[in-house]
């Protein structure tokens, strides 16, 4: 499929792209192509269903090549996800044995995904106990590996089998729902692995994708003509992407804003390819359907990821980012030392006044606690009138202005 400016592609244009791709493929589209259409063009729920219906109405065949013998572990090696997930791909089934917990879909259908994945978290703890017995050279502590092994035992369905189950589902058969969902768990893993590294754990991505699979099972209409895997792909991808938007960021951003950020990012990449440089906000705004440059800058600011002040800096990781950021609210060591010296000198000068004069100045100027008092407040403190306090204050200030005292304080002001 040729690279298009997604901001300028209408739904009718997308239909033409689909027909052209199908023509080039002898009337066949791959599952990857369908997923690309659904993920690249920001389709709403209704438009996604319309596109799938359009594909079925035009007798376009959806190829599921590779799904029947999907090797999730090999795919994860190619994407580098295995290293991130710490998956031991050399671990044989003989080491895991037959005690690996079996998937049980006889329980509550709505709780299938969370209960199943919790089972593997419990199995993970048991495996850690076994690891202590087997030694550090043998690694079986891998719930992801166990989950992939177990879903690989479920046989995939033919298109005729899907239709039979879909008919039973319409009649209210809960067992048919469970069977259709169980047969497509590998599809969820295949899609979820593409989102590794976006802020959520792989098992969490699988669980969110399974929730989308359940919704696809409930909404699937076999009369439209397309395979269930084609229909379910969009629901799985939508569930995963919305979960990432809602949970992956430290500061949550609404889903609609995440979609706008993704659209802006794609346009920015296209402009970099076209211009050979970073595009300006004005250039991006022209491709964003009338969005103003100010709005583009605001979205770019929102999209920034927070950075931890504890981020290691340097080759030895012995420093942190926070060590290099100035706290403008804290006084510098030089100013702090000067203020302490001034405070000491001021206390020495005030000792040359009478006790009453010293206390009046301390209250009036807040020298002790930083809170200044009015003449009336100080007057109540001494049980005298405000006028009397004004006179005491004026007399004390005149004494301080004497050259013998003022010079000692003035030296600090001249620094």
Instruction: Print the domain residue range for 318.
Output: 251-325
How far, in Å, CA of 267 to CA of 254, rounded?
A: 20
**Residue 336, in any domain of the structure:** no
195 in a structural domain: yes
Residues 86 and 171 reside in one and the same domain? yes
- 117 & 132 share domain: yes
Which of 356, 406, 412, 361 minimizes the C-alpha distance to 384?
356
Rounded-to-integer distance, Cα 256 and Cα 401, Å: 67
Give the end of a domain, one of 325, 349, 375: 325
Pick the more confident residue, 204 or 38: 204
In the chain, what is the straight-line distance between the N-terminal and C-terminal CA atoms, in Å?
71
* Backbone φ, ψ for residue 16 (5° rounding): -65, -40
Torsional sign, CA 250, 252, 253, 258: positive
Average pLDDT, the chain: 76
**Which domain CATH number covers 263?**
1.10.10.10
How many domains would you assign to the chain?
4
C-alpha span between 21 and 151 (Å, rounded): 32
For 20-31, what is the mean pLDDT? 81
Domain shared by 42 and 58, yes or no: yes
Helix axes 185-192, 143-151, angle to 10 degrees: 140
Strand partners, 313: 319
Tell how far CA 48 is from the center of its chain: 25
Please indicate, yes or no, if residue 239 is contained in any of the structural domains. Answer: yes
Q: Which of 262, 337, 300, 368 is nearest to 7 (CA)?
A: 262
* Count of alpha carbons within 13 angstroms of residue 136, beta-carbon side: 0
Residues 292 and 146 in one domain: no
Percent residues over pLDDT 90 in the chain = 18
Judge contact between 251 and 245, C-beta under 8 A. Answer: no
Q: What is the dihedral of CA 49, 198, 118, 209, to 10 degrees?
A: 10
Q: Measuring CA to CA, which residue among 60, 66, 51, 67 is closest to residue 26?
A: 60
Question: Using one digit for the tens of pLDDT, what is the confidence trace for 53-80?
Answer: 787 777 777 765 544 444 444 444 333 4
Q: Does residue 361 sit within a domain?
A: yes
Q: What is the mean pLDDT of residues 384-409?
A: 86
Residues 286 and 385 in one domain: no
At 312 the three-state DSSP class reads strand
Residues 81 and 224 in one domain: yes
Nearest alpha-carbon partner for 348 in 269, 409, 289, 389: 409
Within-domain flag for 330? no
CATH, residue 204: 1.20.120.1810
1 part of a folded domain? no
Confidence of residue 211 (pLDDT cuts 50, 70, 90): very high
d(CA 412, CA 367): 17
pLDDT in tens, 263-284: 898 899 999 999 999 999 999 9
- CA torsion, ordered 233, 237, 239, 244, to nearest 10 deg: 170
Same domain as 241, residue 255: no
Query: 24 or 414: whose pLDDT is higher?
Result: 24
Whether 376 and 310 map to the same domain: the answer is: no
Same domain, 239 and 262: no
Winning range, highest mean pLDDT, from 99-108, 123-132, 211-220, 405-414: 211-220
Compute the distance between CA of residue 87 and CA of residue 148 in angstroms, rounded to an integer.
Answer: 11
* Of the residues 207, 222, 247, the one at which a domain ends: 247
Q: How many residues does the chain have?
A: 415
How large is the C-alpha radius of gyration of the chain? 35
Task: Tell me what the mean pLDDT of segment 299-303 comes to.
Answer: 90
CA angle 195, 48, 257 (to 5 degrees): 55
Are the beta carbons of 356 and 345 closer than 8 angstroms?
no
Residue 282 maps to a domain: yes
Residues 98 and 226 grouped into a single domain = yes
**Same domain flag for 164 and 207:** yes
Q: Predicted confidence band at 313 (pLDDT cuts at 50, 70, 90)?
A: confident
8 A C-beta contact, residue 76 and residue 193? yes
Closest by CA to 268, choosing from 255, 260, 246, is: 260
Residues 282 and 384 in one domain: no
């Amino acid at each position: 499929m040729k690279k298009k400016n997604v901001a300028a592609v209408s739904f009718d244009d997308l239909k033409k792209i689909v027909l052209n791709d199908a023509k080039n493929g002898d009337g066949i589209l791959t599952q990857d192509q369908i997923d690309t259409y659904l993920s690249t063009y920001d389709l709403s729920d209704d438009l996604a269903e319309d596109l799938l219906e359009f594909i079925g109405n035009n007798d376009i065949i959806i190829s599921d090549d590779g799904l029947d013998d999907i090797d999730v572990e090999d795919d994860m090696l190619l994407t580098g996800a295995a290293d991130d997930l710490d998956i031991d791909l050399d671990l044989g089934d003989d080491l895991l044995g037959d005690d690996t917990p079996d998937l049980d879909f006889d329980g509550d259908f709505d709780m299938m995904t969370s209960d199943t994945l919790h089972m593997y978290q419990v199995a993970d703890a048991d495996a850690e106990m076994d690891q202590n017995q087997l030694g550090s050279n043998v690694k079986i502590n891998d719930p992801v590996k166990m989950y992939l092994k177990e879903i690989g035992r479920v046989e995939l369905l033919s298109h005729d089998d899907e239709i039979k189950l879909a008919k039973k589902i319409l009649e209210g058969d809960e067992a048919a729902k469970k069977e259709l969902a169980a047969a497509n768990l590998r599809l969820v893993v295949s899609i979820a692995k593409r989102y590794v590294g976006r802020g959520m754990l792989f098992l969490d991505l699988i669980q969110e994708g399974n929730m989308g699979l359940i919704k696809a099972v409930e909404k699937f209409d076999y009369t439209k003509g397309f395979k269930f895997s084609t229909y379910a792909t969009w629901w799985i991808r939508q569930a995963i992407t919305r979960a990432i938007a809602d949970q992956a960021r430290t500061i949550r951003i609404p889903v609609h804003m995440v979609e706008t950020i993704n659209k802006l990012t794609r346009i920015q990449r296209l402009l970099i390819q076209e211009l050979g440089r970073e595009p300006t906000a004005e250039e991006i705004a022209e491709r964003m359907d009338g969005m103003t440059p100010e709005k583009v800058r605001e979205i770019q600011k929102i999209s920034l990821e927070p950075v931890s002040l504890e981020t290691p800096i340097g080759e030895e990781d012995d420093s942190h980012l926070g060590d290099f950021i100035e706290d403008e609210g804290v006084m510098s060591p030089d100013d702090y030392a000067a203020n302490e010296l001034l405070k000491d000198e001021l206390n020495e000068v005030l000792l040359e006044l009478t006790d009453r004069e010293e206390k009046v100045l301390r209250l009036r100027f807040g020298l002790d606690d930083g809170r200044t008092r009015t003449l009336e407040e100080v007057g109540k403190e001494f049980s005298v009138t405000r006028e009397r306090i004004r006179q005491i204050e004026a007399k004390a200030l005149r004494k301080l202005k004497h050259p013998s005292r003022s010079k000692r304080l003035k030296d600090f002001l001249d620094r």
